[in-house]
Amino acid sequence: YREFQDAAGAAGFHIRTGAECNPGACYKYLGINSEEVQQLAGLKEGCNDDVEYINVQRNADFHSLGQELSSEDVLAALETTKVPLGHIGEIAMKWIKVPLGSVRVSLGFMSTFEDVQAL
């Protein structure tokens, strides 16, 4: 989001980016859980700091498959989530980079339908 903000500013557009004005809602939308938010304590100080991403591990969700799992069910879940297999009997967790903010548009009393359509 910061890269987009900087490019837009250089082009003369004022936009709002980040998440620190409402971090709980933004982090929930971005899929960042409470343990991952705790990892940010002392690192993320606001929308204008340099911390733009968090690296987290994600794995397959087997709870949604029910109590009795066959090997076919497990393989189908792995294929769906694209989680690579580690050594025999172990599922490797995949590190992903999750943004800590977003780009958003604010409309006000003087906004018109043309403003919305121009987005």
Each residue's pLDDT, cut to its tens digit, for the chain (119 residues) gives 788 888 888 888 777 787 767 777 888 887 888 888 888 777 777 767 777 788 777 665 555 545 555 667 666 666 666 555 554 444 455 677 888 888 877 778 888 888 888 87
pLDDT at 112: 87
CA atoms of 29 and 16, how far apart (whole Å):
17
pLDDT at 84: 54
Report the sign of the C-alpha dihedral through residues 22, 54, 98, 12, in that order.
positive
pLDDT at 80: 65
Q: Are 95 and 59 in contact (CB under 8 A)?
A: no
Tokens representing 109 are: 């009393």
